[in-house]
Amino acid sequence: MTLLPASPAGRWGISTVFLDRDGTLNAKAPEGEYITRPSDFEFLPGARRGVRALTDAGLRVIVISNQRGIALGRMTEADLDAIHSRMLTGLRAAGAELEAVYHCPHEVDVCDCRKPRTGMLKRARQELGGIDFGRSVVIGDSPSDMQAGRALGCRLVMITEESTEVVDRVEPSLSRAASWLIGAG
């Protein structure tokens, strides 16, 4: 599969996709709880297919995720590494790849990386190179995802049934968002 020139990604010259994790790739834990071990991690329907479609279209896919559970002592960095290992294994089994995974382990308002701040996106650009935020899209399910992307001039796709956020597109799932973005659906 290739990126169609007439697709939104083709028209906008998109080269990089930043994905939120919880609520975009996998089922979110109930409010106030966290995904703290690999067995808690469950892909949302079609999420692996969506990531594969993005990578097959030649787009760089990077996960950016707030992980406050570390700051609260609900899990450790090693726990998060094990969760991400499960995530990466599941994606690879579906033929999908991520270029990188970034997370913020901090409490609210103590850092520049926790979304809606932009530190994770800027760190990805610094470490990976070749990222132009004007040619990037943020796909996520929360206003903080959209605010981080908006602050850097990224295109915005919100995963929800309806949104009051000003975004480029609202889709109910990552697979639908990916299909729309690359012009496959």
* pLDDT over 60 at 1, yes or no: no
- The whole-chain average pLDDT of the chain stands at 95
**Cβ proximity of 47 and 171 under 8 Å:** no
Catalytic-labelled residue, pool 20, 79, 141, 145: 20
Amino acid occupying residue 42: E
Bigger pLDDT: 4 or 87?
87
Looking at the chain, the whole-number percentage of residues with pLDDT higher than 90 is 92
Burial bucket for residue 110 (CB in 10 Å: 0-12, 13-18, 19+): exposed
Given 22, 79, 141, 145, the catalytic residue: 22
Query: Is 145 marked active-site?
Result: no
Looking at residue 165, what is its pLDDT?
Answer: 85
Q: Are 3 and 10 in contact (CB under 8 A)?
A: yes
The ranges assigned to domains in the chain are: 8-182
Of 30-34, 42-46, 174-178, where does mean pLDDT reach its minimum? 30-34
Give the position of tokens 């913020």.
104
Q: How far is CA 147 from CA 9, 154, 158, in A?
A: 20, 10, 11
pLDDT tens-digit series, residues 107-156: 999 999 999 999 999 999 999 999 999 999 999 999 999 999 999 999 99
22 is annotated as an active-site residue: yes
Asked if the model's pLDDT at residue 185 lies above 80, the reply is no
Q: Is it the case that residue 4 has pLDDT exceeding 90?
A: no
Predicted structure pTM score: 0.96
Residues with Cβ within 8 Å of 126's Cβ and at least 6 positions away in sequence, in order, are none
Domain 8-182 has CATH 3.40.50.1000: yes
Locate tokens 């995530």: which residue? 87
User: How confident is residue 91, by pLDDT bands cut at 50, 70 and 90?
Assistant: very high
In this prediction, residues 56-67 reach a mean pLDDT of: 97
What does the block give as tokens for 101?
């995974």
